[in-house]
Structure 1
Amino acid sequence: MSKVLQIAGLNKSYNGRKVVDNISLDVEKGDIVGLIGPNGAGKSTTMKMIMNLISKDSGEIVIGEGTNFVEKIGFATESSAFYEYLSGYDNLMLIAKLYDNVSEEKVREIVDFVGLSEHIGKKVKSYSTGMRQRLGLGRALLNDPELLILDEPTNGLDPYGMKDIYEMLEKLARVDNVAILISSHLLHDIEKICNKVVMIDAGKILFSGDISELGEGLEDSYYSMYRRQA
């Protein structure tokens, strides 16, 4: 399988405090990689550096075979911002215009995929948390990304909403061969759909590899991180 994301020796400090400490990881096509750790572990900072939203102190980030990350990445967070008084459809069309060759038909296909067909004409201010998560995922798919980066994609969702998101992500990875990197502090997210896991605490990687390698030790390792924080 070909690598979509390669990170080597990534570092970031704020005010003399190291928040990302020599992180290295690879994500291949069709992977669903879980980046898991407690709040403040360095997960979101790592993702922001991948997206070039903040600068890195040192290290290397290679996306696909080129350097133009905008054309290769889709990104969604738990608190994605929208134009509240526009419809979900108008929000998607505004972003679609930033890309070449994203037709109205393509937008409609994405709306169907994320399960928003019945609500896409409503103003976003009326959307539930789950509907916003779906809209954020739809927006992230507009540019046919090779790499999809999701920061806490199931936060605030009920079990049914979580199940729907899991099924969408599994289809993207297994059928469309999209590489997916998920940041989460929820063990359930990682156990449910990820084939690989990167455990991070205090900016350092504690484990990186196939989730099957941890087996029953995954839960023990997860709770050990939180005990160290307490």
Structure 2
Amino acid sequence: MYPPPHSHPYAPAPPPLRRWWQHPALIITLLVIFPPAGIALAWTSLWKKSQKIVATVLSGLWFLLSLLLQDPPEEDTKADRPTATASPSPTPTPTPTPTPTPSETEEVPVMPSLVGGAYASAEPIVTANLGRAYAAYKDVDLPAEYGTWLVCFQRPDAGAPVTSAVPVVYLTEPGVPCPASPNTVLHKPTPPPAPKPRPTTQPPTVAPEPEPTQEAVEEDVYYANCAAVRAANAAPIREGDPGYSRRLDRDGDGVGCEN
């Protein structure tokens, strides 16, 4: 058998015939629409091996991505759910608020009448409310034990709420009458006797003016502040003392410059 005319023994073989299912447009369409069929046709096509691998990888990724993004089907569970019939809710009955009786209300403690009694009977209420006791006479000091001393003055007055002010009582020794007001001087100093004039033949001279008494000196005493009181060794200064003023008594208990 002889070779056909005009043929060369080393001429390349003609390319294989392409079938209709090997058309690139069909394969690409199936790779996008239905990747499994597109991948199968891609490996039967006349493409190069590298092109087949790239097409397979891209189509597989596209297929997996479409599966992941697909919404799961919603189950129709409405038919299985029992239908609850709404029943009318009962109207709540208002509960009456109980009115507190006078016995249930909190009673505010009031200051009892302490004047005229011994301090021993007044001590519980005074100490319970952080009160203090002072001697009614400013020149008399309280002893270590003064439970038998009598109460001459009290603050606040009887019947006032105890919480409104700190209780303060002024005491006097049994047998000693109460003064007209707290911080009164019990033992007033006796003024010295006036000197007798000497006999002389000279014409009488005008007698010297008498020295100011202790009371006049006390009226002229003035303290600018508590530092001046302490410098004069007069602290604490009480109501009625020389130089006492409300400026020096901040808490108004009758005793200034306590600290």
Q: Could you say which TM-score interval applies, normalised by the shorter chain? A: under 0.3
- Larger relative helix fraction: 1
Length-normalised TM-score, structure 2: 0.20
TM-score by length of 1: 0.21
Higher strand share: 1
